């Protein structure tokens, strides 16, 4: 999920409510609040708690809500954050993989830290892990994935490895457990669904979530349409490098959900140019054409 801001860069609650309804109206199967797209590293802990509570209340049980906000370095503060997010009524609290060890440390440190966090986390919620690219990208080793699956506590991995062979290996590691793998990478998405992946959790759902919903729900029954749609989505996803999340917020302004495209993580201006804006709008317009051509409602 994105976090809309008003002219003072405070959370715009009216726009956030519109965004929630837009996602749910598109048929999404869940919401991920307080993630990198939400600019969680630029929110205070108090703002994060209020944001997550708002999403949970407005979703009103229509779809599951998971949330992170796991941004701290110190173990004690991380526990405080995990417990605080759990208290907001989410279905699962999502840990950030790069908070589990420093860049030069190995998987044994990750497992030791995740074991301690898991032990102290409330048992009233599920747990998950997101391979967030900021402030550095830490992919989960096989032993970490195996540990999470065997623990019985983990329900969700947001996979950002962008490698279909790695995804297939991870799917084998979690087979028979309650741990689900959601692919964040569009280019490998269709092949990962064929391999048994459990869904999509990526930034391009901030532009055309209904297309990802259709692909997830229909790839097996309509493989020809799914392949053509996947080709479009893979190319469209290359546009996420154009000053994200400014470009996504600009799109949301264009469809009437947001009042501004302001971010805390970066400014528009020189970063998001009129050329980039035009490119994004053409990408979205082509998506509408694809829906018509393929007969996707």
Q: Which pTM was predicted?
A: 0.96
Q: What is the pLDDT of residue 269?
A: 66
User: Average pLDDT of the chain?
Assistant: 96
130 is catalytic: yes
Angle at 117 between CA 79 and CA 133, to 5 degrees: 85
What are φ and ψ of residue 59, in 5° steps?
Answer: -70, -30
- Is 137 known to be catalytic? no
**Model pLDDT for residues 167-197, shown as the tens digit of each residue:** 999 999 999 999 999 999 999 999 999 999 9
12 in any annotated domain: no
240 in the same domain as 146: no
Instruction: Report in angstroms the alpha-carbon separations of 20 from 52, 150, 183, 254.
Output: 12, 34, 21, 16
221 and 88 within one domain: no
Domain with 166 in it: what CATH number?
3.20.20.70
222 and 188 co-located in one domain: no
DSSP string, 227-265: HHHHHHHHHHGGGGGTTTTHHHHHHHHHTTS-S----SS
Local mean pLDDT, 10-residue blocks, the chain (297 residues): 98 98 98 98 98 98 97 96 98 98 96 97 97 97 98 97 98 97 98 98 97 98 97 95 93 97 84 90 95 89
Specify whether 256 is located in the same domain as 110.
no
186, 214: one domain: no
The pLDDT tens digits of the residues spanning 57-87 come to 999 999 999 999 999 999 999 999 999 999 9
Number of compact structural domains in the chain = 2
The owner of tokens 């990408």 is 283
- 149 and 226 in one domain? no
**Residues 90 and 125 reside in one and the same domain:** yes
Burial group, residue 236, by CB count within 10 angstroms (0-12, 13-18, 19+): buried
Residue 25 lies in a domain: no
One domain for residues 126 and 265: no
What distances in angstroms separate CA 141 from CA 7, 109, 160, 202, one per listed residue? 42, 11, 13, 21
Residues 60 and 165 placed together within one structural domain of the fold: yes
The single residue of 158, 212, 232, 249 carrying the catalytic annotation is 158
C-alpha triplet 93, 135, 43: angle, nearest 5°: 55
Boundary (domain end) residue, out of 198, 218, 251: 198
Question: What pLDDT sits at residue 281?
Answer: 94
Q: Are 136 and 109 in contact (CB under 8 A)?
A: no
Q: Of 130, 212, 216, 244, which is the active-site residue?
A: 130
């Amino acid at each position: 999920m994105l976090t809309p801001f008003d002219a003072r860069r405070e959370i715009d609650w009216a726009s956030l409510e519109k965004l929630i309804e837009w996602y749910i109206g598109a048929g999404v199967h869940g919401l991920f609040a307080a993630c990198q797209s939400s600019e969680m590293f630029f929110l205070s802990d108090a703002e994060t708690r209020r944001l997550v509570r708002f999403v949970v209340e407005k979703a009103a049980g229509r779809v599951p809500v998971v949330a992170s906000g796991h941004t701290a370095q110190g173990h004690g503060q991380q526990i405080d954050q995990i417990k605080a997010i759990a208290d907001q009524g989410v279905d699962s609290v999502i840990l950030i993989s790069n908070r589990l060890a420093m860049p030069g440390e190995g998987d044994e440190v990750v497992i030791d830290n995740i074991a301690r966090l898991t032990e102290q986390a409330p048992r009233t919620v599920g747990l998950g892990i997101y391979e967030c690219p900021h402030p550095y990208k830490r992919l989960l080793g096989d032993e970490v994935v195996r540990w999470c699956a065997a623990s019985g506590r983990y329900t969700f991995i947001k996979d950002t490895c962008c490698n279909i062979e790695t995804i297939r290996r991870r799917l084998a590691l979690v087979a028979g457990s309650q741990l689900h793998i959601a692919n964040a990478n569009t280019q490998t998405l269709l092949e990962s669904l064929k391999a048994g992946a459990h869904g999509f959790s990526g930034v391009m759902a901030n532009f055309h979530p209904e297309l990802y919903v259709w692909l997830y729900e229909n790839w097996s029954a309509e493989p020809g349409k799914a392949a053509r749609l996947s080709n479009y989505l893979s190319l469209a996803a290359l546009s996420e490098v154009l000053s994200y999340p400014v470009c996504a917020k600009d799109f949301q302004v264009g469809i009437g959900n947001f009042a501004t495209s302001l971010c805390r993580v970066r400014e528009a201006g020189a970063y998001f140019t009129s050329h980039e804006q035009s490119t994004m709008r053409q990408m979205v317009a082509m998506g509408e054409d694809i829906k018509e051509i393929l007969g996707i409602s």
